Amino acid sequence: MYERFDLLHSAELVHHYITSMVDKAYDNLPYWLLLPNKKPAEAAHCRVDDAELVGSWYEGLVCAMRMLGTDEGDDVKQSLRRHLMKSWGEHGLRFCEPYPWTHTVHASFHEMGYILPAMNLITEEYPEDAEAERRTAELIRGMRSLVIERKVRTFWSGDFQETEPIYEFPNDVYLKDGGFDLTRHTGRGEQAIRNALMLPALVRRYELKKDEVALDLAVGLANYVLGPSRYFNYKMEFFGHVHSAAWFAYGLVYLGRLTDNATYIEKGKAIYDYIRSLSSSFGWVPEYAQWHPMEEEHCETCCVRDMIICARELTRCGYPDYWDDLNRFARNMLMENQVRYTGYVTVDNTLPDGDGITYRDIDKRMIGGFTGGSEPNSISLQRFRSIAGCCVGTAPTALKTAWDSVITEENGALVVNIPCDKETDEIKLESELPNRGRLRVTAKQDCTVAFRTYGWMGSVQVAKINGDAAAELTDDGLFRADLKAGDVFELFFPLRTKWVKETVRGTAFRVAWRGCDVVDLLPRGEHVRLFQRDLAKPKYYPKPEDVVYTGAANYGPTQQATGSRK
């Protein structure tokens, strides 16, 4: 018996982390920095907590709450909303509060890529919030006012008018007291791509509000990165930060879909395909491309999130082959990158919290977090960002993307795309993967249902209605059937363990596949081993009292976090 893919359980765990790993003394301000390898373990504040994290954790918590259909955690959500509504300044930019750990108060355009999605959510969920609407509009217009607009190419052969908008920011840092100071920079490099990370949020703003300024800024930034920045070569390969490039890629595909611009879609697809060529079949994605030797790379969960969302966007643009990537990446590396057992963490609850550091119940509170850097077979606790606040905020958006993609409506049919359990008003979907090759849909009302098929299902697939073979495979790879309420529609296919050799991160691995699930991986890794999914093997399971966050007065409401393997 093997562990089964459970998106809702993963959402429960990350909901627990986000609502637990916050500081009541500062209105539930998140802790980005978590150090589980220290003795005792601790979490500490840093400037980013009130910069990108109040945005990304707001978005992540909303995604988890919507998946779970719960209002639990709304107190933390409203705290994050209050933080978001503070610290606005010149040109509509959001800065950060001058906390003791803040140092220079500034805004970076990279961080607006986290703030703007959260503001979009607030304006969507609270349409009566006039201040949120004003701040969102002013942020977009403020950023538009700060760009350099390239209008003419002055070359040795003459002057040439640019026919499309091309916008770039003069710097990646904007000081609250001083504006653009070209002697200052973040030091990250890759200014062009990192300054364009608000691209998907600009497109979303346009989709939500028909904000033409948002669309104009999105197009201008996209054109600059694709053109004069020379960040990508003619094959859309690049040297640098995968998270930024993949985030930009799904923004490009999204922009192309909304504006009916095939060039943007093709460029975004090419970026995705290049990153996919560096990644594993089960979703291990390197943090950088051509920056370090591959054997030194780690997988940031943010990158997995980007690839899942980009794959979904590509399916919307008529590329159904990317359903397989979405499914494999979500049920394998995304799941493995989440913390579910913390028996290895040293805790000292006698130490008082203060000065931006917390020690209390770190082992319990960190359940549900996501790693900022895994190897294919392990999470190394000694690595900085072994658990990363940025990934905790972005991973739930991938969870929700996968959850919303399990069943979609296409051409009048409810299409089962991802094998897992899910129930809607119309149908109940049950999956027996990876233990048996069987999917079952029970109709709750009259409807048309289709199963999407994949190569890993093999060549012998049988679809039955109420026990009788009654559906045939269509040219688009679907088993489709018209069902009456109470009908049971099943898909059967052979399933056995298949060992496949694959080189990932410069290492030859043996990957045990059962259908689309990786159930084992050799060689084993340290410290926290991944892909140990055989329930028959001895494992260290936490006691129930070790995974219940008791809701001590200083740390928020009672939350339940159930532990599992590792």
Are the C-beta atoms of residues 421 and 441 closer than 8 Å to each other? no
**pLDDT tens digits for range 70-96:** 999 999 999 999 999 999 999 999 999
Closest to 192 measured CA to CA, from 228, 165, 246, 162: 228
Q: At residue 16, what are phi and psi to the nearest 5 degrees?
A: -60, -45
Is 350 exposed, middle or buried (CB count within 10 Å of its CB: 0-12, 13-18, 19+)? exposed
Token match 């803040």: residue? Answer: 102
Largest Cα span, the chain: 75
Which residues, in sequence order, are CB contacts of 27 under 8 Å at separation 6+?
79, 82, 83
For 420-441, what is the mean pLDDT?
A: 98
Task: Supply the pTM of this predicted model.
Answer: 0.93
Q: Pseudo-torsion of CA 69, 71, 76, 81, nearest 10°?
A: 80
Rounded CA-CA distance 458/494 in Å is 7
- pLDDT (tens digit, 9 = 90+) per residue, 227-255? 999 999 999 999 999 999 999 999 999 99
pLDDT in the model for residue 469: 82
- Under 8 Å CB-to-CB from 418, ≥6 apart: which residues? 323, 326, 327, 330, 331, 402, 405, 406
pLDDT band at 535 (very low <50, low <70, confident <90, very high): confident
Q: Tokens for 170?
A: 């003069």
How far apart, in whole angstroms, are the C-alpha atoms of residue 92 and residue 518? 47
For residue 419, the model assigns a pLDDT of 98
Question: What's the confidence (pLDDT) of residue 558?
Answer: 29
pLDDT band at 97 (very low <50, low <70, confident <90, very high): very high
Residue range 437-456, pLDDT digits in tens: 999 999 999 999 999 999 99
Mean pLDDT, range 55-65, rounded to an integer: 98
Query: In 3-state terms, what secondary structure has residue 93?
Result: coil
Residue with tokens 């990446």: 329
Instruction: Quote the CA–CA distance of 175 and 159 in Å, as a whole number.
Output: 35
Using an 8 Å Cβ cutoff, are 282 and 333 in contact?
yes
pLDDT given at position 422: 98
pLDDT bucket at 538, cuts 50 / 70 / 90: low
Bridge partners for 42 per DSSP: 35
Distance CA 509, CA 335 (A): 19
